[in-house]
Amino acid sequence: MKNLGEIVLRKLSKEEYLSLHELRNSEPYLKYDHPERPLASKAEEETFWEKYVISGAYLFWGIYTAKDIELVGVINAFSFSKDAQTCETGINIFPPQNFGKGHGLQAYLQLHEILLKELGIKYTYIMTSPENKPALKLYGKLGYFDGGQVDDEGFTWQVMKYKFGLD
Omega within 30 of 0 (cis) for the link into 96: no
Query: 14-51 burial, b for 16+ CB within 10 Å, e for fewer?
Result: eeebeebbeebeeeebeebbeeeeeeeeeeebeeebee
Distance (Å, rounded) from C-alpha 106 to C-alpha 108? 5
Q: What is the tens place of the pLDDT at every residue in 92-134?
A: 888 778 888 899 999 999 999 999 999 999 999 999 999 889 8
Mean pLDDT of the chain: 87
Report yes or no: 146 and 110 within 8 Å, Cβ to Cβ.
no
Report yes or no: 108 and 74 within 8 Å, Cβ to Cβ.
no
Give pLDDT, residue 35: 57
**pLDDT average, residue stretch 10-27:** 82
Give pLDDT, residue 32: 56
Q: Please state which of the four CATH numbers 3.40.50.1370, 3.40.50.880, 3.40.630.30, 3.40.718.10 is assigned to the domain occupying 2-122.
A: 3.40.630.30
**pLDDT average, residue stretch 40-64:** 92
Helix (H, G, I), strand (E, B) or coil at 122: coil
Report yes or no: 74 and 60 within 8 Å, Cβ to Cβ.
yes
Distance (Å, rounded) from C-alpha 140 to C-alpha 144? 5
Q: What is the tens place of the pLDDT at every residue in 69-88?
A: 888 989 999 999 999 899 99
Higher-confidence position of 32 and 122: 122
